[in-house]
Amino acid sequence: MAEEERRKSLLDALGAAAREQSDATVRHRDAVGARLGLGPAEEKALDLLRRLGPLTAGEIGQHAGLAPATVTGLIDRLEGKWLVRRVRDLRDRRRVIVEINHERLAGFAELSEPYAAALERVYAHYSDDELAVILDWVHRSTAAQREATRALAGEQGVDTKADQG
Domain residue ranges in the chain: 2-125
Helix (H, G, I), strand (E, B) or coil at 66: coil
CA–CA gap between residue 112 and residue 103 (Å, rounded):
17
Task: Give the pLDDT confidence score for residue 123 in this predicted structure.
Answer: 97
Q: What is the pTM of this model?
A: 0.73
Task: Domain 2-125: state its class.
Answer: mainly alpha
Buried-exposed string 93-129: b where 16+ CB fall within 10 A, e elsewhere: eeeebbebeeeebeeeeeeeeeeeeeeeeeeeeeeee
Alpha carbon 59 to chain centroid, angstroms: 14
Is the torsion defined by CA of 121, 127, 133, 136 positive or negative?
positive
Q: What is the largest CA-CA distance in the chain?
A: 66
Alpha carbon 41 to chain centroid, angstroms: 11
Task: Give the pLDDT confidence score for residue 164 in this predicted structure.
Answer: 44
pLDDT along the chain (165 residues), means of 10: 92 94 90 87 90 94 89 94 90 88 79 90 97 96 91 69 44
Helical (H) or strand (E) element with 88 = strand 84-88
Helix (H, G, I), strand (E, B) or coil at 96: strand
